[in-house]
Amino acid sequence: MRPPEEITALVTGATDGLGLGVATELARRGARVLIHGRNPERAADAVARIEAETQNDRVEIHLADFASLVEVRDLAETIGEAAPELDLIVNNAGIGGGLPESRERQESLDGIELRFQVNYLAGFILTERLLGALRAPARVVQVSSLGQAPIDFDDPMLTRAYDGARAYAQSKLAQIMYANDLAERFEPAELTANSLHPATFMPTKMVLEERGAAVDTLELGIKSTLRLAIDPALDGVTGRFFDRLEEGEPHPQALDPAARARLRELSLELSEGR
């Protein structure tokens, strides 16, 4: 990885919580930071806050609602034009298994189970479409979770016996599987892809609304994520899952090449609307 002041980084879901913290620390280190959000006012507030804290004026807004694949594709095109040489993608945007979203089953504008699309599929499409813009040695970081559930390929959209927590956990495992898939497809000198559980129940909006209290600090989550993003000690390290600052073990399905191939096929079908 190049020194932070020489990189261009994209952080999704960067208008509050972990994403905002990671974007702020990248900017503090001199990086050009593209922050993604879906609300223009919140995104503008985030940029103003980052610039005030870091004195870095190379922070840019890119808007898209991940519940719309049209907006995700447009976002990829816009970023590809704005940053034809991209060094880092942090796929952080997501929704939880309960509040502040509904615990009930919801579908995206594309008719896809909402948590699967927002937490996983949108990041898959965005990253795939930006692979040509990533310059070696690039990094992709998937902000996942210890909460993982195997994908039921007979009912991946969970149309039967829906549970929000399971939908969330399935989408988080899909993120890890995708990172491992990327790690298989690229030489480490070109691109590394890793995933992590940044911290347990950080004091973010969705954690506080769902649980009422945090466990780990937001600072730990930022530190853990930033380590995967820019730490030179992780040059060439790829296809790993980290539990905060230590390497961990994901659900066995993430290590199954056949399952990863099925997920990739499903993802391409959904992303192409077949």
Give the global pTM. 0.94
Output the CA–CA distances (angstroms, integers) from residue 176 to 11, 37, 79, 100, 107, in the order listed. 17, 22, 24, 24, 22
* Count of C-beta atoms within a 10 Å radius of residue 161: 8
- Which residues fall within 8 angstroms of residue 97, CB to CB, at 6 or more apart? 103, 115, 147, 164, 165, 166, 167, 168, 169, 210
> Could you tell me if 207 and 214 are in contact, meaning their C-beta atoms sit under 8 angstroms apart?
yes
38 touches 63 (CB < 8 A): yes
Output the pLDDT for position 274: 46
Tokens of 113: 């189970």
pLDDT < 70: residue spans in the chain: 98-102, 202-214, 216, 273-274
| Amino acid (1-letter code) at residue 239 | G
H/E/C letters for each residue in 138-202? Answer: EEEEEECCCCCCCCCCCCCCCCCCCCHHHHHHHHHHHHHHHHHHHHHHCCCCCEEEEEEECCCCC
Q: Is the peptide bond before 100 cis (omega within 30 degrees of 0)?
A: yes
Q: Judge whether 143 and 18 are in contact, CB under 8 Å.
A: yes
Catalytic machinery residues: 168
